[in-house]
């Protein structure tokens, strides 16, 4: 779906939504070499970028409910990819951080999905790549701007 520069906001929103779904589907098809899911990888990436945090804070940053994040954390802990320690002031919470193995998984391996996407991006012109980088900044602000419904803590 191609959107012209003169398209209205609703048309841009519809095109972005559709393209996001299609790209997600293609990326899932090329997700073959990592022992973790995309959701787990996203949580690990957030922990690497933002540092250790409570499971509740991680759930908020990832835009999921705490029970879902607990399942993700349990799976990552079972694989030895994160470490848990008691929260310093709230005995009901734990603080999670990325283990050496988790960091290694994220930094040392380029997944088949990332390799496929890099190959697709290499077909773009320099001008298109520059525009895409600008669009990524904008898309990042869209994804971080609003808390999800029923999200107790606004995302930063």
Average pLDDT value for residue range 114-123: 89
Tens digit of pLDDT for each residue in 31-67?
A: 666 678 878 988 999 999 999 999 999 999 998 999 9
Name which of 147, 144, 148 is nearest 46 in CA terms: 144
pLDDT in the model for residue 6: 67
Burial class of residue 61 (count of CB atoms within 10 Å of its CB; 0-12, 13-18, 19+): buried
Q: Whole-structure pTM over 0.85, yes or no?
A: no
Tens digit of pLDDT for each residue in 74-118?
A: 999 999 999 999 988 888 888 999 999 999 888 766 567 778 888
Helix (H/G/I), strand (E/B), else coil: 111: coil
Does position 148 have pLDDT exceeding 80, yes or no?
A: no
DSSP 41: H
Contact call for residues 33 and 112 (beta carbons, < 8 A): yes
Does position 155 have pLDDT exceeding 60, yes or no?
A: no
Distances (CA, A) of 27 to 20, 32, 86, 111: 10, 10, 36, 10
Q: Name all domains of the chain by residue range, CATH numbers in brackets.
A: 35-108 (1.10.10.10), 110-150 (no CATH)
């Amino acid at each position: 779906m191609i959107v012209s520069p003169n398209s209205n906001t609703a048309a841009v929103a519809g095109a972005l939504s559709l393209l996001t779904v299609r790209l997600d589907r293609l990326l899932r098809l090329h997700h073959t070499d990592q022992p973790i899911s995309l959701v787990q990888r996203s949580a690990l990436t957030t922990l690497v970028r933002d540092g250790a945090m409570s499971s509740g804070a991680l759930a908020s940053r990832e835009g999921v409910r705490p029970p879902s994040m607990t399942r993700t954390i349990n799976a990552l802990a079972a694989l030895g990819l994160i470490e848990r320690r008691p929260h310093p002031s709230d005995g009901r919470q734990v603080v999670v951080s990325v283990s050496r193995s988790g960091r290694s998984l994220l930094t040392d391996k380029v997944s088949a999905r990332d390799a496929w996407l890099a190959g697709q991006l290499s077909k773009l012109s320099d001008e298109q790549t520059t525009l895409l980088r600008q669009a990524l900044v904008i898309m990042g602000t869209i994804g971080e701007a609003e808390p999800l419904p029923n999200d107790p803590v606004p995302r930063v």
